[in-house]
Structure 1
Amino acid sequence: MRICFFAQGSAIHTRRWINYFAERGHDVHLITFEPVIEGYNKSVKIYNLLRIFPNLWPITRFVSGIIWPFQVLFLFLKKIKPDILGAISITINGYLAVASGFHPLILTACGSDILIAPKKNYIWRFLTIFTLRKADALIFAAPHMAETAITLAGDIIRDRIYRDSFGSIDLEKFNPTKRGFGIREKLNLDNNCFVIISTRNLRQIYDVDTLIKSAPIVIDKIPKTYFIIIGDGEKRGKLEKLSEDLNVKNNIKFLGFIPHEDLPKYLTAADIYVSTSLSDGTSVSLLEAMGCELVPVVTDIPANQDWIKQGVNGFLVPIRDHNALANKIIYLLENEEKRKTFGIASREIVEEKSDYYKQMAEIEKIYEDLVCVQSRK
């Protein structure tokens, strides 16, 4: 197949998705509004949408957005001549794919594009509904997202939902045998301390503030506890300042961006995984931690409820409740056997439900079937 994707080029989920199709021998093209990003299979052709005066992006993005549909239709798609379009994330990417008028079109919703964007204003809501109704096939990261989409766009889209859950990891890459030897030494942490890890980006939606606020409570009870914060974003400066104000700066290490291939070493060097996200699709970050037999303490939101069984393989805590989060962390740090059994249970769950290659093969079949249907029209 010749597949053209509209997607956020910097996202690890985009790279994994597109590289799978490229490695399977498909002719893959990516249209993105971000600069060319490394990490893609050499056979992938990348096209960058025009960004007028990027240094003034908050102002010029609106003008760029008007130009993009014409750039897509008259320059890129005429050149590529794809068999099928795939948009990863409905906002922006889905809008552009629909604006092209090309079919067949598969939309893949990832989280905030369905759960948050339509609530921003009537324009976003209208565009989301319109885009959902124009797609030939829909794929959702989690069942609660599919139900939200049906509530928005109506039963007309129900028969177009080919998959209402996906979330997968490379189980060979993310497993407890990939020990992070040397990571603690690199971070000046001894082997007798406890390590809490977060791998979410430092954006408003992930509410890492709550994790930072829990740190003084945990450290007061168990002083030799350290927090590794992996990820970057617009809130980093404020979070670093918060750690200073709470006098826990020496126990929190902001590592910024870490190459995805190095993540297993950091995860296996930790004792507990924490995610304080306010909203999510299926969290691949969570699945990666579970694959490494880390015990998760995560927010009690629908996306996490699909993976965490309370008191069986981890804990769910209310959003923005740093006291509840701290209490669960302390409980687990004081109960080594619970950490071990919860971690093993988490690994068993992802082995059963989130094999990357099995899920991607099923999604590849959806693409192939739609191309066959289109060819018969």
Structure 2
Amino acid sequence: MQKKRILFLGETYRADAITWMNGLKEFGDFEIVTWELQTRSSGISRIKRLIELSKSFLTIRNTAKKFNVDMVIAERTTSYGFLAALSGIKPIAIAQQGISDLWPENSLLFPFKKILQNYAFKKSDLIHAWGPVMVTHMQSSGVNMNKVMVLPKGVNLDFFEFQNNNDESIIKAIVTRSLLPEYKHDIILKAFAILKNQNIPFELTIVGDGILLEKLKKLSTELNIEDIVIFTERIHNNELPKLLQNSNIYISMPTTEGVSASLFEAMACGCFPIVTDLPGNRSWITQKENGVLVESENTKKLAKEIIWAFNNPEIRQKVVFENRKFVEENANYAINMKKIANKYHELIKQKSS
């Protein structure tokens, strides 16, 4: 029997996208065809991206016809999700990546994005909410909740294996978010400069690449911590588990968050999480029970909580074991992606019947 073929619309280099596609191949026996926009979604490029967006639906339709796809899936409801809806391909599954995908809220394009999103919501056959925090926005947007699947993709627990880092003599912190303004790496660097001034031993590993790389390297030099901050730049995904396993504290300080796969990866590998106090993170982290929540853009508070975690190794030890169990029960890629793949086969079957 010929494999079913899915057209994936989204940035294929992103770890979330790779997880999604690989899970569908492994647990649904799907073939994946990919297509993505070529213009960045930042600064002045946003206007160019909109122009590219407006010209893309015919290309997508032709791609679908060329490869005889059985279904289209898309990440981010305001861009690729809209293109999927406009393409006329059925069935359509779209994923809301953030709490609303309507970001930044002060953008002049906000009303326009909302129109695009509502169209995508209406035309889709399945809408992914990777976590419960996303559901509120869908309800307020009048989405037919029978179309919504609330389930994270999960993480590969054979890949992200648990390893308890027992070295309590030093903070081995890791950050795995893209080097973009919204992830506030500058706040993290400044917090660790406070730790250095207090003679608290640490190593900080910043994983990944992004437009702020050189600026952040310069900042680490200005803060006199460049000798204890490692910028790995872009790495192969196979290298990430080892870096997480060699760390004891995971830090993530974005200003907005839906569901972070990187948080699940860190919890799976045995890192104690310190993350921004946002609705998306509150779905998974309870303050001082299985991690620490820190208000956004508060350097001094972040430094204080890192020190608290360092000074309470017995709490961290208890938390990392409980967090691994939590991920196994709620974010197991092998279980969750099988459910998602089965749902796609069901949708395709309904279309052809």
Normalization by structure 1: what TM-score?
0.84
Q: 1:132 aligns with which of 96, 112, 121?
A: 121
Q: Give the counterpart letter for 2:113 in structure 1.
A: W
2:274 is the counterpart of 1:336: no
- What is the aligned partner in structure 2 of residue 37 from structure 1? none
* Bigger relative contact order, structure 1 or 2 (CA pairs below 8 A, ≥6 apart): 2
- What is the aligned partner in structure 2 of residue 97 from structure 1? 84
Instruction: Spell out the pairing of 1:52-71 with structure 2 (5 A cutoff).
Output: 61-71=49-59
Contact 2:71 2:348 in 1 (8 A): yes
Residues matched between the structures, number: 343
- What is the aligned partner in structure 2 of residue 110 from structure 1? 97
Instruction: Spell out the pairing of 1:354-365 with structure 2 (5 A cutoff).
Output: 354-365=331-342
Contact 1:200 1:285 in 2 (8 A): yes
Return the alpha-carbon distance in structure 1 between the equivalents of residues 203 and 150 of structure 2: 38
Tell me the SS of whatever aligns to 2:258: coil
Return the alpha-carbon distance in structure 2 between the equivalents of residues 239 and 150 of structure 1: 39
Return the alpha-carbon distance in structure 1 between the equivalents of residues 200 and 72 of structure 2: 53
Q: 1:124 to 1:62 in 2, by over 3 A?
A: closer
Q: 1:13 aligns with which of 16, 38, 63?
A: 16
Q: CA deviation at 1:319?
A: 0.9
- Which ranges of 4 or more aligned residues in structure 1 deviate by more than 6 Å? 56-59
Contact 1:89 1:113 in 2 (8 A): no
2:292 is the counterpart of 1:288: no
Q: 2:64 aligns with which of 77, 94, 111?
A: 77
Return the alpha-carbon distance in structure 1 between the equivalents of residues 51 and 293 of structure 2: 43
Contact 1:264 1:292 in 2 (8 A): yes
- What is the aligned partner in structure 2 of residue 31 from structure 1? 35
Q: 1:308 aligns with which of 285, 288, 302?
A: 285
- What is the aligned partner in structure 1 of residue 158 from structure 2? 172
Q: CA deviation at 1:345?
A: 1.6
Q: CA deviation at 1:354?
A: 0.7
Instruction: Spell out the pairing of 1:252-291 with structure 2 (5 A cutoff).
Output: 252-291=229-268
1:56-99 C-alpha deviation (Å, 9 max, x unpaired): 967754543333112122x2122122222111222321121111
Superposed CA RMSD in Å reads 2.4
Normalization by structure 2: what TM-score?
0.89
1:310-366 C-alpha deviation (Å, 9 max, x unpaired): 212211111111111111111121222222112112112111111101000111121
- What is the aligned partner in structure 1 of residue 351 from structure 2? 374
Contact 1:176 1:293 in 2 (8 A): yes
Return the alpha-carbon distance in structure 1 between the equivalents of residues 87 and 299 of structure 2: 46
More off after superposition, 232-241 vs 113-122: 113-122
Q: CA deviation at 1:28?
A: 2.3
Return the alpha-carbon distance in structure 2 between the equivalents of residues 216 and 27 of structure 1: 48
More off after superposition, 98-107 vs 242-251: 242-251
Q: 1:191 to 1:331 in 2, by over 3 A?
A: closer
Q: Give the counterpart letter for 2:118 in structure 1.
A: I
Q: 1:297 aligns with which of 274, 288, 313?
A: 274
Q: CA deviation at 1:207?
A: 1.2
Q: Give the counterpart letter for 1:83 in structure 2.
A: D
Return the alpha-carbon distance in structure 2 between the equivalents of residues 223 and 238 of structure 1: 25
Q: 1:254 to 1:293 in 2, by over 3 A?
A: same
1:118-154 C-alpha deviation (Å, 9 max, x unpaired): 7632211211111111111111112221211222x31
Runs of 5+ consecutive residues of structure 2 not aligned to the other structure: none
Return the alpha-carbon distance in structure 2 between the equivalents of residues 301 and 222 of structure 1: 30
Contact 1:115 1:279 in 2 (8 A): no
Q: 2:209 aligns with which of 224, 227, 232?
A: 232
Return the alpha-carbon distance in structure 1 between the equivalents of residues 340 and 189 of structure 2: 38
Tell me the SS of whatever aligns to 2:287: coil
Runs of 5+ consecutive residues of structure 1 not aligned to the other structure: 35-50, 181-189
Q: CA deviation at 1:167?
A: 4.0
Contact 2:79 2:116 in 1 (8 A): no
Return the alpha-carbon distance in structure 1 between the equivalents of residues 49 and 331 of structure 2: 37
Return the alpha-carbon distance in structure 1 between the equivalents of residues 73 and 47 of structure 2: 28
Contact 1:307 1:349 in 2 (8 A): no
Contact 2:163 2:270 in 1 (8 A): no
Q: Sequence identity of aligned pairs in percent? A: 28
1:176-205 C-alpha deviation (Å, 9 max, x unpaired): 34989xxxxxxxxx9954311111111122
Contact 2:93 2:127 in 1 (8 A): yes
- What is the aligned partner in structure 2 of residue 40 from structure 1? none
Return the alpha-carbon distance in structure 2 between the equivalents of residues 123 and 177 of structure 1: 46
Return the alpha-carbon distance in structure 2 between the equivalents of residues 119 and 362 of structure 1: 37
Q: Give the counterpart letter for 2:116 in structure 1.
A: L
Return the alpha-carbon distance in structure 1 between the equivalents of residues 86 and 104 of structure 2: 18
Q: 1:264 to 1:116 in 2, by over 3 A?
A: same
Q: Give the counterpart letter for 1:160 in structure 2.
A: K
Q: Give the counterpart letter for 1:339 in structure 2.
A: R
- What is the aligned partner in structure 2 of residue 146 from structure 1? 135
